[in-house]
Amino acid sequence: CPTAADLRPPNGTRVCAQLYADNSPYYDQCCAGDVLVVPPGSDVPYMPRGWSARASSLVVGTRCELTVWSGRGKKGKTRKFNA
């Protein structure tokens, strides 16, 4: 997986988090497959089409916090992730 400081695409824009679809019991193979990029300031009450219950690993960038909910529309239990 990339480090929190590595979440900068080649064009230099900032990325707050990346969620990955593929899972593996081996750490070096966890952050693979489709990637969902979360830009700074995002407020998304629903997962994009095709991502519901699909994210298996994530990396949160420095100076960012990712809050997720167990239910749709920001309902249910929450969990916060940061670098």
Q: What is the pLDDT of residue 64?
A: 92
Range of the domain at 42: 17-82
- CB burial string 9-45: b at 16+ within 10 A, e below: eeeeeebbbbbbbeeeeeeeebbeeeebebeeeeeee
Residue 72 lies in a domain: yes
Predicted TM-score (pTM) of the model is: 0.81
Residue 49 lies in a domain: yes
| pLDDT tens digit at each of 83 positions of the chain | 888 888 876 777 789 999 999 877 777 778 888 999 999 999 988 888 888 888 888 999 988 999 999 888 889 999 999 98
CA dihedral 73, 71, 20, 80 (to 10 degrees): 90
Per the structure, the count of domains in the chain is: 1
